[in-house]
Chains A and B, each alone.
With several copies, the nearest count.
Chain A
């Protein structure tokens, strides 16, 4: 089992969720984060000045999935989270190994608890 963690643009959340659902991945955990990557875009306006923030608002998705779902999951995210204009700031995906998953309600463990 793997934990796929994606950091994406908040604006892309809906599209990514839809793509994941199409890939039959529905369970996930979402949180607000801020990030700094290579991107220097997402400029904001402040009283006539274009301000490039140091930390941009991002959304983090954590998706625990069985090994065979990892690649479909990555593909779905990449597909949906990419800007048309190939700009910086589209985000990143991290994959870590999951040793155990437990469903609290049933105490089920492992792949079937995902």
Chain B
């Protein structure tokens, strides 16, 4: 099974599960801790958490001045809500054994993580670290999603939406793809670090919300300037750094696999950035700063599912392809006229799909050699496509139900006066940049 499993975490974890009850945990057959691997996983956890303020900066710089705090609060709110939910029930759902016919996982011992208090995983890492590392993914995913409907939702409705979304969309998807027994996991779908689970699901769900909620007042007639591109650039820088934890941490090791994941992540990001500014130069004669960071993000998103299975040339091609497709998708969005405010779908959805599909053509020869005889590129391509479709379809449909529900009950879209006044003032009673006014 290791042969098929692009990411062993789930399998390893499952083994840990069966062998461990809280009482058995002090016994001699417990795997030992490897301090090096543990160190890297601790760091990866910190790095993925760094992506949350990074994303807050990236998004916060792109919205109008009056909405900067409201937009950053989407990321910080996700830290609070998903941070709590993950330890309460998220980990139990995502990484417990199959329940409800495999729709989700469930292990009551994982509630409040009490059952893993002494558990060391077969990867020689305390399970707490793995649970925390995974928890950061559960935080960043709805924070990414929020970019699609920036500048027009109520904070209260947003928090309820992402809480439900985490439970009903993220946890099951995570279970399907990464946990032993998850049906996509068993099929051999390759999603190293979250192309489907994180980016495609966030992008698609964001798109659905954006379409349901409608455009911001005045869009696209009134131009909406980024309030702080400088902050957006810095945020992108932090995202790149944090992504090393995101991808290389997903190896749940500190060795060759980790190094490979880090190397391809770096290469894809640089290639994506370069490609984007070349495209811009050809299209408009000018390279923009938003362009270079969009290219970085596109490259990083595309390499995410592929970080364990491609080599440097493949990574660079994925980065370039992501830049091309995302650039095209955003042009198309502008044509179609819907308002995905910060291009959550245009970058994360499209980039994730590009990565998940195209990776099939750049598989590392040694990986291919390790597959059993029945393996064929065509079949892998189908499996990948299935992963994408399941993710798009499931996330899309459930999100639609949720967004309608939340909007009709407690309210999601802000009122027109609130929107004109800006979220910071009307929802939070604050101003982002007091420095603008003499005081």
Contact = CB atoms under 8 A, between A and B. Distances in A.
A touches B in complex, CB < 8 A = yes
Interface of A: 9-15, 30-34, 43-55, 57, 59
Interface in B1-28: none
B438 A48 contact: no
A74 B430 CA distance: 30
Contacts of B334: 48-49
Contact of A44 (B331, B343, B430): B430
Contacts of B430: 44-45
B438 A50 contact: no
B336 interface: no
Contacts of B437: 30, 32-34, 55, 57
Given A12-B420, A14-B218, A44 B438 contact: no
A18 B288 CA distance: 31
Contacts of A55: 437-439
A47 B223 contact: no
Interface of B: 66, 217-218, 222-223, 225-226, 279-280, 283-284, 286, 288, 290-291, 294, 327, 330-331, 334, 343, 346, 417, 420-422, 425-426, 428-431, 436-439
Given A45-B291, A48-B279, 9 more contacts: A33-B437, A34-B439, A44-B430, A45-B286, A45-B288, A46-B290, A47-B294, A47-B346, A52-B223
Contact of A10 (B66, B218, B225): B66
B284 A13 contact: no
A10 B438 contact: yes
Nearest to B419: A14
Most-contacted residue by chain B among A14, A15, A44, A49 (CB, 10 A): A44
B438 A30 contact: yes
A11 B421 contact: yes
Contacts of B217: 14
Contact of A53 (B225, B279, B286): B225
Most-contacted residue by chain B among A33, A43, A57 (CB, 10 A): A57
B263 to A, nearest CB: 28
A47 B222 contact: no
Contacts of A48: 279-280, 283-284, 291, 327, 330-331, 334
A55 B226 CA distance: 13
Nearest to B217: A14
A101 to B, nearest CB: 23
A55 B434 CA distance: 11
Nearest to B285: A45
Contacts of A11: 66, 417, 420-422, 425-426
A48 B431 CA distance: 16
A59 B438 contact: yes
Contact of A45 (B422, B426, B429, B438): B429
A34 B429 contact: no
B268 to A, nearest CB: 19
A105 B217 CA distance: 25
Contacts of A10: 66, 421-422, 425, 438
Nearest to A58: B437
A57 to B, nearest CB: 5
Nearest to A53: B223
A59 B425 CA distance: 15
A51 B431 CA distance: 12
B152 to A, nearest CB: 14
Contacts of A46: 223, 226, 288, 290
Given A10-B438, A48-B327, A49-B334, A54 B280 contact: no
